[in-house]
């Protein structure tokens, strides 16, 4: 029998973006790197809230050398593979933290809002 994944509605997603933004207010970052597709919404939101430059993973090499504290974001984390790909592209001397809204499995980012413990669909995904 097919069981439909639970869906995170847009209202919850938006509220959790605000909570994450408040959580990172104490942190000092020079820029944000948003992971492909699902991280772009969160990255754009945080970039506007924190008035920080926003880059995608493919733009990492164009990050100015004086940007030494980087926040890497995605909306959910599962295996950590996408985060690790981004981390491996960063210059060796930068410091970074990872952040997401939701954790679904074994990879735990530095900053997150909820550990769902299950695979969930986002409001923007086809079900």
Which of 29, 69, 73, 36 minimizes the C-alpha distance to 51? 29
Residue range 48-65: average pLDDT? 94
Domains and CATH numbers, the chain: 7-120 (3.40.50.2020)
pLDDT greater than 80 at residue 91: yes
Tokens coding 39: 């991280």
Residues 43, 32: contact at Cβ < 8 Å? yes
The rounded distance, in Å, linking the Cα atoms of 80 and 45 is 22
Residue 1 has pLDDT above 60, yes or no: no
3-state SS, one letter per residue, for 62-117: HCCCCCCEEEEEEEEECCCHHHHHHHHHCCCCCEEEEEEEEECCCCCCCEEEEECC
> Is 70 exceeded by the pLDDT of residue 126?
no
Task: Give the SS3 label for residue 35.
Answer: coil
Predicted pLDDT at 78: 86
Cut 0.85: pTM above it: yes
Report phi then psi at 111, rounded to 5.
-130, 130
């Amino acid at each position: 029998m097919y069981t439909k994944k639970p869906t995170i509605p847009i209202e919850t997603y938006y509220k959790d973006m605000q909570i994450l933004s408040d959580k990172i207010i104490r942190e000092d970052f020079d820029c944000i790197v948003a992971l492909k597709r699902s991280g772009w919404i969160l990255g754009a939101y945080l970039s506007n809230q924190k008035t920080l430059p926003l880059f995608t993973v493919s733009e990492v090499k164009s990050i100015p050398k004086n940007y030494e504290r980087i926040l890497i974001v995605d909306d959910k984390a599962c295996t950590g593979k996408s985060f690790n790909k981004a981390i491996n592209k960063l210059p060796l001397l930068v410091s970074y933290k990872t952040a997401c809204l939701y954790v679904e499995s074994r990879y735990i980012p530095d900053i997150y809002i909820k550990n769902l413990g299950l695979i969930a669909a986002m409001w923007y995904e086809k079900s």
